[in-house]
Structure 1
């Protein structure tokens, strides 16, 4: 009997996910344990494996599309199985979902199903044959509301095995591999690459390979889960209409497309993001470019080799900007940027904050760092020293190491310090755990590793969750002082400026000195002015005399 594959919830902050890459396509046979897709959440990319055998009958979300947790991303079943009932009922039948839960909840990917959604769709799930499996956009974090299918690794008509990679899913912060949960044939791909859809949107349908997809899609469109997805975002609605009003993705039509056209259903140009960007830069009309990839998809190489023969690209007029001509470029908001905007707005509006500043003499810290770095195979930064000093100061001022939880204030006995890291798409805050118990060299090595993995989008949920205090450093950019927004629900965030050479007074004499500005933003609900000031004084003392951290 066909089984529905939904977007899993892979962290406590995940609300939606993006299929970064499909490793299976409709029609492919899938075996349990095979890689279905790469799933990108708000902070990381993870491989998603199938938990059962079958044929990929349906893909509900295209690569690069974002959909909420619990969205149907695929359907696995027997080849030729009718999945119209599953699509019509969102595959949310209570009995069927319980079977899916038994196969997935004990796995590394925690697929959470909602009881209400199961009950709402119970009556309609029977309409789909047992060979059909609806695959929906999984929920990969509690901050995830939608996802983008970055890339499909399977096409309509392909056989899918359980564990095969179906697609890559991009969320607001990362790209993840998404795997099939069962064997089957990829009968339908519901979301094009690069499109964003809500969690629970239909990504694909798996079946035997001979199902009537028009009936299947009609049933899916009328299901309760589909209605919920449609109401959540306009982009999902547009995608569903395209799915039903355009041609049906089947092995036959997919083959025809690859031979005759470079556009997908509804007249949309099928091109990779790099190809689109390059075509825009060169002023090339993609409708005139013949794609060489699967189903006529246009690649970067196709654009580079395109010769317009009198077109805009040939004469270069479209790519040039005339003097005095106004122009602008609109770029879709990435999943990471959406999450940053939402969380910072919540923090700004929700936390009554105040700011404290203090200037620190860095002469001793500079000397201490030089001495430490003279040790072979050892290299620490000033930021490493600040993190260690913060951990020691937090131990002496536990009221700063707290969170506001509405009806209570939580005080943490452990000290986990988040370190803000700038990445291409925005900002991540990986965590140095038990920072007060680690040496400077341990902190330095861990920060370097976390920073590299953050930039490579290789962080896992455990790498960014649980921080109790955050340090943000812009000193390397020459910023002398700045104020950060509190990383809710933490009570404080420390902003570290650049080290400056300035005249200072020592022993009643003006001499050259090195100073650094520290700015502490505090949530007044948990930290009062005197508490924050005392913390800064202790922190200043530790940094100005690093040896005291060891006492």
Structure 2
């Protein structure tokens, strides 16, 4: 029987997501666990895989479209089923079978998702030029709310972005279930306002020219929409780079973290001469070169085992402590910072840590991480030592208990055991901790355990 595949909740708590790239086309035969699409979320681009085998009968949204979690995105046909099975499957799922591209044409089209029955709530009126469902024009009707509640349905992200843009949600037509306003609706509405504003300005300038008025007079006339900064900045010596989904999410999450999580910081200077010497020795014969960061991850895991109270997250009504050590590793990608999770680090040999981190980093940069690889973790590591950064502080990744900021190993004069000055290699690390989860004494105990391990690296290998 034909089955409707819906937009997955690729990350816990996500309200919507976008298909960045389809990895299949209409007519493709897919197997279980075969990647279907690259889904763009607030944190990363994640591969979405098939849970069942079958044949792609129809792609219900186009690349770049953002829809709510749970919205239909694919029709998957079973053995022996053809196009005639698509209509009944769509109808059973409450999806209108109209305005969709031919299933064998290789392209994607738009569908309209049937709203859940809400008494007295008409569907959004189509635009005059009969754009496909989901398109927004400057003259469209706004989304209506249920009359008994006066509520306008919109995702949290849309409400926040609309407030930032100063756009009343009542002016935006929603195309999601129950006329809910999703991100693409707001973006198209803003684009329509921008086009309307540009047209008004052009008309005003033309009228002033015909009347012999100076251009400045026309420019001072009120317009329906503000001029985008990028347009007004032409020739001004700077460029306004539009924020993509990931950058907006990073800005939002980090701002929320600093505003709502009580950070406190502990700093330690670690002597790493032994670590650097051991690394050189290991890399002389190792099939895969071991990095300083691989040792750091093992030392972090060992310290979390030694101080289990630190291997925890904030759970609102409780503090959840874990028996296994899962550590998030900060990876810089073209789109921004992402943090795939290394699981069971305490049980991994050093070489396996190195190989796993390299694989996660490579796939993070290529946008091929899976959903589970971005979820979980009680602690994070951010290393800027490869850039020569001596010391920095990192912002916590809620609900995790801490994040360790790792600087570069550098040659500095140190006091030896006999009290005399000598040349040493010192790596400064800064622990950012969530005071809701960790008291100062526990955090200090953990940092001391980490320092012992990193300064005696053979203990990491045992």
Under a length normalisation based on structure 2, what TM-score does the superposition of the two structures give? Answer: 0.66
Write out per-residue CA displacement over residues 35-92 of structure 1, whole angstroms, 9 at most, x where no aligned residue: 9962423233435669877964x84x43223222123446799979998x99xxxx7x
Contact 2:411/2:425, CA 8 A, preserved across alignment: yes
Match of 2:39 in 1: 40
* Residues 513/327 of structure 1: CA separation in 2 closer, same or farther (3 Å cut): same
Match of 2:198 in 1: none
1:70 has 2:70 as partner: yes
* Residues 67/240 of structure 1: CA separation in 2 closer, same or farther (3 Å cut): farther
What stretches of structure 2 of length at least 5 have no aligned partner? 110-130, 136-153, 156-172, 194-232
1:133 shift after superposition: 6.4
CA RMSD of aligned residues (A): 4.1
Match of 2:7 in 1: 7
Alpha-carbon distance in 2 for matches of 1:518, 1:448: 22
Match of 2:104 in 1: 159
Pick from 530, 539, 544 the counterpart of residue 441 of structure 2: 530
Match of 2:204 in 1: none
1:9 shift after superposition: 2.7
* Residues 19/508 of structure 1: CA separation in 2 closer, same or farther (3 Å cut): same
Name whichever of 515-524 and 453-462 sits farther off: 453-462
Write out per-residue CA displacement over residues 100-135 of structure 1, whole angstroms, 9 at most, x where no aligned residue: xxxxxxxxxxxxxxxxxxxxxx7xx7xx5xxx2688
List aligned pairs for 1:529-548, cutoff 5 A.
529-548=440-459
Match of 2:181 in 1: 229
Paired residue secondary structure (1:500)? strand
Match of 1:377 in 2: 287
Contact 2:329/2:341, CA 8 A, preserved across alignment: yes
Paired residue secondary structure (1:472)? strand
Alpha-carbon distance in 1 for matches of 2:19, 2:379: 32
Alpha-carbon distance in 2 for matches of 1:133, 1:16: 23
Paired residue secondary structure (2:299)? helix
Alpha-carbon distance in 2 for matches of 1:538, 1:372: 23
Paired residue secondary structure (1:159)? coil
List aligned pairs for 1:122-137, cutoff 5 A.
132=97
Match of 1:549 in 2: 460
Contact 2:38/2:367, CA 8 A, preserved across alignment: no
Contact 2:57/2:103, CA 8 A, preserved across alignment: no
* Residues 53/363 of structure 1: CA separation in 2 closer, same or farther (3 Å cut): closer
Write out per-residue CA displacement over residues 257-302 of structure 1, whole angstroms, 9 at most, x where no aligned residue: xxxxxxxxxxxxxxxxxxxxxxxxxxxxxxxxxxxxxxxxxxxxxx
Contact 2:403/2:431, CA 8 A, preserved across alignment: yes
Alpha-carbon distance in 2 for matches of 1:384, 1:81: 52
* Residues 374/485 of structure 1: CA separation in 2 closer, same or farther (3 Å cut): same
Paired residue secondary structure (1:63)? coil
1:165 shift after superposition: 7.9
Write out per-residue CA displacement over residues 448-497 of structure 1, whole angstroms, 9 at most, x where no aligned residue: 11111111111111222221211100011111111101111111110000
* Residues 533/23 of structure 1: CA separation in 2 closer, same or farther (3 Å cut): closer
Contact 1:470/1:493, CA 8 A, preserved across alignment: yes
List aligned pairs for 1:326-475, cutoff 5 A.
326-475=236-385
Pick from 398, 401, 423 the counterpart of residue 512 of structure 1: 423
Paired residue secondary structure (1:454)? helix
* Residues 31/460 of structure 1: CA separation in 2 closer, same or farther (3 Å cut): closer
What stretches of structure 1 of length at least 5 have no aligned partner? 98-121, 136-155, 168-187, 193-197, 200-220, 242-320
Alpha-carbon distance in 2 for matches of 1:191, 1:36: 26
* Residues 515/238 of structure 1: CA separation in 2 closer, same or farther (3 Å cut): closer
* Residues 438/6 of structure 1: CA separation in 2 closer, same or farther (3 Å cut): closer
1:523 shift after superposition: 0.5
Paired residue secondary structure (1:371)? helix
1:189 shift after superposition: 6.0
Q: How many residues align?
A: 359
* Residues 367/463 of structure 1: CA separation in 2 closer, same or farther (3 Å cut): same
List aligned pairs for 1:1-400, cutoff 5 A.
6-22=6-22, 30=27, 33=30, 38-42=37-41, 43-46=44-47, 56=58, 59=60, 61-73=61-73, 96-97=92-93, 132=97, 156-157=101-102, 159=104, 166=108, 225=177, 227-229=179-181, 233-237=185-189, 325-400=235-310
Write out per-residue CA displacement over residues 495-538 of structure 1, whole angstroms, 9 at most, x where no aligned residue: 00011111111112111111010100011111111111111111
* Residues 326/437 of structure 1: CA separation in 2 closer, same or farther (3 Å cut): same
Contact 2:273/2:424, CA 8 A, preserved across alignment: yes
Paired residue secondary structure (1:436)? helix
Paired residue secondary structure (1:374)? helix
Alpha-carbon distance in 2 for matches of 1:540, 1:36: 42
Alpha-carbon distance in 2 for matches of 1:428, 1:546: 28
Higher relative contact order (CA 8 A, sep 6+): 1
Match of 1:498 in 2: 408
Alpha-carbon distance in 2 for matches of 1:476, 1:65: 37
1:11 shift after superposition: 4.1
Paired residue secondary structure (1:339)? helix
